[in-house]
């Protein structure tokens, strides 16, 4: 039976931090806009900052729907979901208000330092840090979720972007659709991206 929680701590925090995979959902305010759902992996690139705040690194490599929805005036709705594929069947959801912290935000360096260095070694491809301020924290049974075996992290993403300079990464972003604007035409990431703060390079 599902429960709601006042905060993310103890067993709940440990569960979130142990999962190798989670999902992020956002949507534009327009009723006919595209709902976006993204899988996220890479251990260490999501951190619980306090009892009601999480952050994850938004890396390059795909479109920027999440960032666009969070930057839309009056929007910011976001849901994160984790599910156990081994051990006790559990699904955890955090509904909240999201915020995209861009490279030229004065908070960038302090926030980026909260992530383990080995997890963000391809920092050139870090486009934004997504802050999530939880409004509702809940869990539910995962009785229908299959049991699966976790084998290993994929290194392909980090390996690919570690070979790029900041200039090459900007060229990469400028050559992809739906980085500057979303599928629905909302402003997403500013291009060229602001340079990384010196303390993050």
Q: What are phi and psi for residue 178, nearest 5 degrees?
A: 60, 40
Residues 86-140 pLDDT 10s: 989 999 999 999 999 999 999 999 999 999 998 888 899 999 999 999 999 999 9
Tokens of 168: 């090459």
- Predicted confidence at residue 24, as pLDDT, reads 98
Residues 6+ apart with CB under 8 A from 117: none
Positive or negative, the Cα torsion across 188, 23, 26, 177?
positive
Burial of 181 (0-12, 13-18, 19+ CB in 10 A): middle
* pTM for the predicted model, two decimal places: 0.94
Q: Which helix (H) or strand (E) holds 66?
A: helix 65-71
Tokens of 186: 């909302």
Rounded mean pLDDT, 150-173: 93
**Confidence class of residue 199 from pLDDT cuts 50, 70 and 90?**
low
- Predicted confidence at residue 106, as pLDDT, reads 96
> Taking all residues of the chain, what is their mean pLDDT, rounded to a whole number?
94
- Predicted confidence at residue 200, as pLDDT, reads 53
- Predicted confidence at residue 172, as pLDDT, reads 95
- Predicted confidence at residue 1, as pLDDT, reads 63
Note the Cα 157 to chain centre separation in Å: 15
More confident residue, 197 or 108: 108
Residues 52-76 pLDDT 10s: 999 999 999 889 999 999 999 999 9
Distance CA(57)–CA(180), nearest Å, equals 18
- Predicted confidence at residue 201, as pLDDT, reads 53
- Asked whether residue 198 carries a pLDDT value surpassing 80, the answer given is no
């Amino acid at each position: 039976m599902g429960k709601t929680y006042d905060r993310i701590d103890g067993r709940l925090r440990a569960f979130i931090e142990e999962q190798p995979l989670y999902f992020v959902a956002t949507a534009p305010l327009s009723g006919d806009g595209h709902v976006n759902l993204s899988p996220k992996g890479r251990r260490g690139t999501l951190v619980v900052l306090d009892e009601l705040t999480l952050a994850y690194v938004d890396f390059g490599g795909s479109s920027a729907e999440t960032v666009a929805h969070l930057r839309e005036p009056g929007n910011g709705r976001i849901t994160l979901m984790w599910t156990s594929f081994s051990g006790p069947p559990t699904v955890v959801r955090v509904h909240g208000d999201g915020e995209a912290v861009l490279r030229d935000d004065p908070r960038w360096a302090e926030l980026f330092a909260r992530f383990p260095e080995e997890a963000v070694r391809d920092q050139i491809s870090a486009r934004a840090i997504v802050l999530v301020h939880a409004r509702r924290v809940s869990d539910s049974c995962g009785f229908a979720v299959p049991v699966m075996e976790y084998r290993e992290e994929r290194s392909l993403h980090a390996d690919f972007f570690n070979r790029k300079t900041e200039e090459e990464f900007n060229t990469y972003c400028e050559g992809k659709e739906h980085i500057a604007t979303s599928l629905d035409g909302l402003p997403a990431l500013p291009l060229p991206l602001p340079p990384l703060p010196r303390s993050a390079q």
